[in-house]
């Protein structure tokens, strides 16, 4: 299987993440992609290729222009205020205020465009997000052209990024951008299967009213897990999108037996909906030793996940999302890919 990767992913190296009331070194760090790349090479998964540069057009097909402009300028605007730390949102247009006038001040703009305070913006963040979406686009274009599976070693991840919001370590929604690209190139219906521990709120929001993308997500129940405010089972889509959004909230402690029952249901729905392409939002933070998650999947379970995905016999693009057990991230992510190819 071909892997797409570029060093541009490493241009984001944030220093701070607000975590339990203290600023810690971010879980979402550049070492993650280095270790996955090392594992790809160790197991001989296949060629590692540089992505092409696709510019902003495919980004603007799913994201708001004002949002993209905000991301492009945020770091400079922050520095222009004389700030020394990283850009972190700290006030939001919550239930009791207005959100229809976008502020001019960078602090207000951060609140408008951020969905959480865990994700600092630092130098190189926009450039890394650009590299990440180019990896996703290159991977899906390869799958579309050849029918062969591909792996986009994306970083930063994407599935929490909504049409006009960043957070949960995500800026551009790589899976949504890739799926939209496939539709724009003639695919009639795409399935996005999100196996990251966290609900893919951004992907859900982008496609909620559409029937050309079937979105399915297995994740920690938002009653107790990030992102807390989306991901319940009764969110099934709206309008023509009704029935094309499927959430499987699962309790903390869920192991592969229960997790894979939800997976099998998701796979049956993908089959029934006649999807022509599968995009896997491949987070591996469902791993038992993930430091910020609560499921109990083992490294071998990720191999079995790959096998079950292969049984769909669909053109498939894998895009890396989360996974913070940095020592094992390469093993777990690549186990899915080798299981798929077995």
Residues that bind ligand Q9C in the complex, under the rule CB under 6 A: 17-19, 118, 157, 159-160, 168-170, 196, 198, 226, 283, 285, 292, 321-322
267 Cβ neighbours under 8 A, 6+ residues apart: 193, 308, 309, 311, 312
The torsion angle over the Cα atoms of residues 81, 128, 34 and 303, rounded to 10 degrees, is: 120
Q: Which does 219 bind (CB under 5 to 8 A by kind): ligand Q9C, Zn ion, none?
A: none
Residue 322 within binding range of Zn ion, rule CB under 5 A:
yes
The residue among 228 and 261 lying less far from ligand Q9C, judged by its C-beta, is 228
Say whether residue 158 binds Zn ion (CB under 5 A): no
- From the candidates 63, 159, 160, 199, which is the catalytic residue? 160
State the minimum distance, in angstroms, from the CB of residue 119 to ligand Q9C: 8
- The tokens for 35 are 């270790």
Collapse the DSSP code of 203 into the 3-class scheme (helix H, G, I; strand E, B; otherwise coil) and give the result: helix
β-strand partners of 48: 3
CB of 22 to ligand Q9C, least distance (A): 9
Determine, following the binding rule CB under 5 A, whether residue 235 of this chain makes contact with Zn ion.
no
Cβ distance to ligand Q9C smaller for residue 141 or 219: 219
Residue nearest to ligand Q9C (CB): 322
Nearest to 27 by CA among 219, 292, 286: 292
Q: Are 28 and 168 in contact (CB under 8 A)?
A: no
Question: If contact means CB under 5 to 8 A according to the sort of partner, which of Zn ion, ligand Q9C, none does residue 111 touch?
Answer: none
How far is residue 8 from each of residues 136, 145, 174, measured CA to CA in Å? 13, 24, 15
Size of the site for Zn ion (CB under 5 A): 6
Closest approach of ligand Q9C to the CB of residue 154, in Å: 10
* β-strand pairing of 17-19 with 22-24: antiparallel
DSSP code, position 197: S
For residue 148, the tally of other CB atoms under 10 A from its CB is: 14
Closer CB to ligand Q9C, 125 or 142, in the complex: 125
SS3 270: helix
Q: How many residues does the chain have?
A: 342
Q: Does 285 bind Zn ion (CB under 5 A)?
A: yes
Q: Which of these ranges, 21-29, 62-70, 132-140, 279-287, lies near Zn ion under the rule CB under 5 A?
A: 279-287
Closer to Zn ion by Cβ: residue 1 or 282: 282
Please say if 160 is a catalytic residue. yes
Among 158, 227, 283, 339, binds Zn ion (CB under 5 A): 283
Residue 75 touching Zn ion (CB under 5 A): no
Give the integer Cα–Cα distance in Å for 11 and 155.
10
Q: Which residues are catalytic?
A: 160
């Amino acid at each position: 299987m071909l892997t797409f990767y570029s060093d541009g992913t490493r241009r984001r190296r944030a220093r701070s993440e607000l975590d339990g009331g203290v600023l810690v070194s971010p879980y979402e760090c550049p070492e993650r992609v280095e270790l996955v790349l090392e594992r790809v090479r160790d197991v001989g998964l296949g060629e590692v290729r540089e992505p092409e540069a696709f510019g902003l057009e495919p980004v603007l097909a799913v994201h708001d222009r004002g949002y993209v402009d905000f991301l492009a300028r945020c770091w400079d605007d922050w520095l222009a205020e004389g700030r020394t730390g990283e850009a972190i949102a700290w006030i939001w247009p919550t239930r009791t205020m207005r959100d229809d006038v976008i502020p001019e001040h960078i602090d207000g703009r951060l609140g408008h465009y951020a969905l959480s305070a865990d994700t600092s913006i630092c130098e190189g963040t926009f450039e890394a997000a650009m590299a990440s979406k180019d990896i996703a686009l290159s991977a899906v274009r390869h799958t579309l052209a050849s029918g062969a599976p591909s792996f986009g070693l994306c970083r930063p991840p994407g599935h929490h990024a909504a049409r006009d919001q960043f957070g949960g370590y995500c800026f551009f929604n790589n899976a949504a951008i890739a799926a939209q690209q496939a539709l724009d190139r003639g695919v009639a219906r795409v399935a996005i299967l999100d196996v990251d521990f966290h609900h893919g709120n951004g992907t859900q929001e982008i496609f909620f009213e559409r029937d050309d993308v079937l979105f399915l997500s297995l994740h920690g129940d938002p009653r107790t897990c990030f992102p807390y405010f989306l991901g319940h089972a009764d969110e099934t889509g709206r309008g023509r999108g009704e029935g094309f959004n499927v959430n499987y909230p699962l309790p903390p402690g869920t192991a592969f037996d229960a997790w894979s029952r939800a997976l099998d249901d998701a796979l049956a729905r993908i089959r029934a909906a006649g999807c022509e392409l599968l995009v896997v939002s491949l987070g591996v933070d469902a791993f038992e030793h993930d430091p910020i998650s609560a499921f109990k999947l083992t490294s071998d379970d990720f191999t079995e996940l790959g096998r079950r995905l292969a049984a769909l016999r669909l053109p498939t693009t894998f895009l890396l999302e989360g996974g913070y057990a940095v020592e094992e991230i390469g093993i777990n992510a690549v186990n899915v890919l080798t299981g798929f190819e077995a």
